[in-house]
């Protein structure tokens, strides 16, 4: 039997479940829709695909000229639109072996991404090229220490993240038109007042600001205190699968085998399969299909 559930729950934040906030977009669509239709400013914590889902919900309920939409992300950016071009091409990274640490390897990866962009490669070509490269070349080709190598996937996933391209293009357009904004920072907590919320935001230097808004949606993604679906949590409790102490992702045996006879496990949060050091978690559907096929 093959088991393939989803990823971790959204990282909870102080005050993200109250009169003017919800801890996740999924399962709370009706409440979110009520606040969108009443004209509230919508504040999303995170600049990821869940945030883009909220934007689409807004667009489906009110005219764009009424939209008041904010996304708050640590880097102040949203994913690039992955638009295919003809003729198709892939970025071909040139990476050296013998790295002692994840830090020096990631610096080289960043250099290769910068060089590709200067050469005219777009993010779709960069992402597809790196993805193909790492499917053929495991991280241990470049970093000798496996624990150091396992520090790489989280950063690579962030750099090479994607999203629905037409929604991303809408987000960029709305920012230019003034209907949407992007705030750089990390949300510390949410406080609730009689007619809205106060969001406490910490910048890169540790300074704190407060933003008054209408309704807050936690789209932050997974974090250290996240939980998994009941089946995955039960398998973790029984020791049938594990959690990597370095990457914090899920671990399974060779060919995705678990501790239960005849049961294989593969989810987007998987970062270790047997002894292999994977370059990216399996949130990418193409990588998920590839590793499932390799498992036989």
The length of the chain is: 296
Lowest mean pLDDT among 28-32, 218-222, 292-296: 292-296
Torsion of CA 224, 294, 156, 231, to 10 degrees: -20
Q: Write down the pTM of the prediction.
A: 0.84
For the chain, percent of residues with pLDDT exceeding 70: 100
pLDDT, tens digit (0-9, with 9 covering 90-100), for 191-246: 999 999 999 999 988 899 999 999 999 999 887 778 899 999 999 999 999 999 98
Gap between the Cα atoms of 139 and 149, Å rounded: 6
Query: Using alpha carbons only, how large is the chain's radius of gyration in Å?
Result: 20
> Model confidence at 66, in pLDDT bands (50, 70, 90)?
very high
Average pLDDT over residues 43-49: 91
Gap between the Cα atoms of 133 and 155, Å rounded: 16
Cβ count within 10 A of residue 294: 12
- Output the average pLDDT for the chain: 91
For the chain, percent of residues with pLDDT exceeding 90: 63
Pairing of strands 42-45, 69-73: parallel
DSSP code at position 279? S
pLDDT, tens digit (0-9, with 9 covering 90-100), for 90-125: 999 999 999 999 999 999 999 999 999 999 998 889
CB 61 within 8 A of CB 37: yes
Tokens (6 digits) for 55: 């934007």
CB-count exposure of residue 123 (10 Å: 0-12, 13-18, 19+)? buried
Gap between the Cα atoms of 20 and 28, Å rounded: 12
Gap between the Cα atoms of 277 and 153, Å rounded: 9
CB 126 within 8 A of CB 136: no
Q: Is 280 helix (H, G, I), strand (E, B) or coil?
A: coil
Q: Is 256 helix (H, G, I), strand (E, B) or coil?
A: helix
Gap between the Cα atoms of 148 and 35, Å rounded: 45
DSSP code at position 99? B
What pLDDT is recorded for position 183?
A: 95
pLDDT, tens digit (0-9, with 9 covering 90-100), for 123-142: 889 998 999 999 999 898 99
Gap between the Cα atoms of 116 and 92, Å rounded: 9
> Model confidence at 48, in pLDDT bands (50, 70, 90)?
confident
Average pLDDT over residues 8-24: 93
Tokens (6 digits) for 261: 């006879």
pLDDT, tens digit (0-9, with 9 covering 90-100), for 250-286: 999 999 999 999 999 988 888 889 988 888 877 777 8
Pairing of strands 186-192, 197-202: antiparallel
CB-count exposure of residue 165 (10 Å: 0-12, 13-18, 19+)? middle
> Model confidence at 10, in pLDDT bands (50, 70, 90)?
confident
- Does residue 187 register a pLDDT over 80? yes
- Does residue 164 register a pLDDT over 80? no
Q: How far is CA 114 from the centre of its chain?
A: 21
What pLDDT is recorded for position 72?
A: 96
Tokens (6 digits) for 271: 């970062």
């Amino acid at each position: 039997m093959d088991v393939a559930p989803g990823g971790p729950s959204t990282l909870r934040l102080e005050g993200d479940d109250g009169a003017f906030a919800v801890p996740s977009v999924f399962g709370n669509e009706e409440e979110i829709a009520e606040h969108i239709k009443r004209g509230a400013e919508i504040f999303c914590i995170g600049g990821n695909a869940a945030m883009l889902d909220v934007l689409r919900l807004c667009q489906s309920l009110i005219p764009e000229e009424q939209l008041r939409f904010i996304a708050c992300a640590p880097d102040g950016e949203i994913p690039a639109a992955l638009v295919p071009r003809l003729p198709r091409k892939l970025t071909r990274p040139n990476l050296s072996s013998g790295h002692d640490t994840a830090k020096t390897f990631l610096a080289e990866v960043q250099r290769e991404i910068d060089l590709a962009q200067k050469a005219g490669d777009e993010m779709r070509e960069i992402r597809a090229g790196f993805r193909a490269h790492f499917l053929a070349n495991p991280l241990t080709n470049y970093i000798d220490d496996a624990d150091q190598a396992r520090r790489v996937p989280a950063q690579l996933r962030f750099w090479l993240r994607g999203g629905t391209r037409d929604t991303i293009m809408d987000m960029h357009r709305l920012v230019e038109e003034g209907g949407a904004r992007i705030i750089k920072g990390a949300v510390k907590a949410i406080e609730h007042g009689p007619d809205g919320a106060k969001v406490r935001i910490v910048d890169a230097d540790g300074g704190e600001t407060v933003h008054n808004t209408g309704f807050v949606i936690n789209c932050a993604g997974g974090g250290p205190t996240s939980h998994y679906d009941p089946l995955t949590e039960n398998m973790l409790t029984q020791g049938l699968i594990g959690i990597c102490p370095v990457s914090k992702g899920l671990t399974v045996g060779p060919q995705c085998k678990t501790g239960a006879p005849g049961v294989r496990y593969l989810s987007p949060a998987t970062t270790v399969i047997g002894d292999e050091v994977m370059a990216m978690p399996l949130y990418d559907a193409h990588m998920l299909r590839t590793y499932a096929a390799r498992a036989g």
